[in-house]
C-alpha cells in the first residue's frame, strides 16, 4: 500500500479523512506483517480490531485469523470495509463506538470458538480509555497488539524512577507484561500524524503474584499517589485520602520507605503492598 493507493480508495468510495476520529492510515506493509507476526495469529485465534479504517490491517488479519470482528465509529469507513470484505465470511463489521461496546457479549455471540486477541492501530485520542475498558470489562481478551503514540507506549512500559512511569504504567504492569515491540515513524501513515508511534505487545499475566486485596481500592490508591508528581508520596496520601500523619508515617516506616520519597521511585509491587496496608488500616 502506498500513498497513491490510499488516495485512490478514498476517491473511489468518495470518503474523507476525519481528524476528529484519529484517522491516520497505516501504509507500510512491512509493519502490518510485523504486527501480525508478533501477535502469533493462527486459524485457531479470533481477532478484535478497533478502528479498521480503510481495512489494510484487516486484510492481513482476515488471512491469518479464524475470524476478525471490527468496531468502526465512522459510517464512511464502515461503507468502505463492508464493501471490501463483502465476500469474506470471517470478517464481522460492527458500526459502533468501541467505548460503548459490550465486548464480552459480542465475543460470546460471534467469537466463541477460539481464544480472542486484540490487534489494532488505535485512534490515539482514546488510547488509554480503550485499554482501560478492555482491562476492566473483558474476561476473555488475554493479549493485545496495539499501535499508539510513542509517548503513551513509553508510559505503559515505563520503569520506576523514569519520567515515563506513572499510574498508567502501574495499572498496566499490574495486570500484564508490556513490551514496546516496534517503533513506527510518522511517514508510515497517511496523513502523517505529528507524533511518532509504537506497537506495544500486551500479554495478561497468568497469575498475579502480589494481588491487591481490593482492586477497586488499589486503582483509587494508584491514582491518588500519582495525582501530583511533584509532591511526596506522603503528601499525596494526605491530600488525596485525608489520612492522618501518624497513619502515613507508621505504614511507610514499617515498609522502610522514606517519608520524603516520591511515588515514582516505588515499584509496582511496593505500590500494591502499600495499597493493601492502607486498605486494611482504613477498614478498621
Region binding ligand SAM by CB under 6 A among candidate stretches 33-41, 121-129, 161-169, 178-186: 121-129
Residues that contact ligand SAM, how many (by CB under 6 A): 23
Contact residue for ligand SAM among 46, 53, 155, 202 (CB under 6 A): 53
Question: Taking the complex as a whole, how short is the minimal distance between the CB of residue 105 and ligand SAM, in angstroms?
Answer: 16
The residue from 15, 45, 71, 118 that contacts ligand SAM (CB under 6 A) is: 71
CB atoms within 10 A of CB 179: 15
Residues 6+ apart with CB under 8 A from 223: 167, 240
Candidate list 9, 15, 25, 61; residue touching ligand SAM; CB under 6 A: 25
- The region of 16-24, 163-171, 178-186, 227-235 touching ligand SAM under the rule CB under 6 A is 16-24
200 forms part of the interface with ligand SAM (CB under 6 A): no
Is there binding between residue 123 and ligand SAM (CB under 6 A)?
yes
- Give 142: exposed, middle or buried? Use CB within 10 Å, 0-12, 13-18, 19+: middle
Closer Cβ to ligand SAM, 123 or 158, answer by number: 123
The answer to whether residue 74 forms part of the interface with ligand SAM (CB under 6 A) is yes
> Please, which residue, 26 or 156, has the CB nearer to ligand SAM?
26
Examine residue 85 and tell whether it contacts ligand SAM (CB under 6 A). no
| Per CB under 6 A, 21 contacts ligand SAM | yes
Q: Does 52 bind ligand SAM (CB under 6 A)?
A: yes
Contact region with ligand SAM (CB under 6 A), list: 72-80, 106-114, 203-211, 235-243 = 72-80
At closest approach, how far in Å is the CB of 106 from ligand SAM?
13
Q: Is residue 98 involved in binding ligand SAM (CB under 6 A)?
A: yes
CB of 99 to ligand SAM, least distance (A): 5
What is the secondary structure of the chain as a DSSP string? Answer: --HHHHHHHHHHTT----GGGT--EE--HHHHHHHHHHTT--TT-EEEEE--TTSHHHHHHHHHSSEEEEEE--HHHHHHHHHHTTT-TTEEEEES-GGG--HHHHHHHH--SS-EEEEEE--GGGHHHHHHHHHHH-SS--EEEEEEEHHHHHHHT--TTSTT-SHHHHHHHHHEEEEEEEEE-GGGEESPPSS-EEEEEEEE-SS-SS--S-HHHHHHHHHHHTSSTTS-HHHHHHHHH---HHHHHHHHHHTT--TT--GGGS-HHHHHHHHHHHHHHHH-
What is the binding site for ligand SAM (CB under 6 A)? 21-26, 50-53, 56-57, 71-74, 77, 97-99, 121, 123, 126
Amino acid at each position: 500500500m502506498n500513498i497513491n493507493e490510499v488516495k485512490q480508495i478514498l476517491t473511489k468510495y468518495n470518503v474523507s479523512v476525519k481528524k476528529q476520529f484519529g484517522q491516520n492510515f497505516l501504509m507500510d506493509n512491512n509493519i502490518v506483517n510485523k504486527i501480525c507476526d508478533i501477535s502469533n495469529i493462527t486459524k485457531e485465534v479470533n481477532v478484535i480490531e478497533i478502528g479498521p479504517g480503510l481495512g489494510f490491517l484487516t486484510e492481513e488479519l482476515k488471512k491469518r485469523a479464524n475470524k476478525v470482528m471490527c468496531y468502526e465509529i465512522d459510517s464512511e469507513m464502515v461503507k468502505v470495509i463492508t464493501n471490501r470484505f463483502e465476500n469474506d465470511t470471517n470478517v464481522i463489521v460492527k458500526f459502533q463506538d468501541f467505548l460503548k461496546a459490550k465486548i464480552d457479549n459480542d465475543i460470546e455471540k460471534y467469537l466463541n470458538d477460539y481464544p480472542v486477541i486484540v490487534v489494532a492501530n488505535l485512534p490515539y485520542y482514546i488510547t488509554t480509555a480503550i485499554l482501560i475498558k478492555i482491562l476492566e470489562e473483558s474476561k476473555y481478551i488475554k493479549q493485545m497488539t496495539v499501535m499508539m503514540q510513542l509517548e503513551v507506549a513509553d508510559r505503559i512500559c515505563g520503569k520506576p524512577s523514569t519520567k515515563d512511569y506513572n499510574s498508567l504504567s502501574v495499572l498496566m504492569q499490574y495486570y500484564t507484561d508490556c513490551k514496546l515491540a516496534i517503533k513506527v515513524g510518522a511517514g508510515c501513515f497517511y496523513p502523517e500524524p505529528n507524533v511518532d508511534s509504537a506497537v506495544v505487545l500486551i500479554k495478561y499475566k497468568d497469575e498475579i503474584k502480589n494481588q491487591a486485596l481490593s482492586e477497586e481500592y488499589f486503582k483509587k490508591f494508584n491514582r491518588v499517589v500519582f495525582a501530583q508528581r511533584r509532591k511526596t508520596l506522603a503528601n499525596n496520601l494526605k491530600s488525596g485520602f485525608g489520612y492522618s500523619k501518624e497513619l502515613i508515617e507508621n505504614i511507610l516506616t514499617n515498609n522502610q520507605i522514606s517519608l520524603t520519597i516520591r511515588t515514582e521511585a516505588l515499584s509496582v509491587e511496593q505500590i500494591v503492598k502499600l495499597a493493601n496496608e492502607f486498605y486494611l488500616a482504613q477498614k478498621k
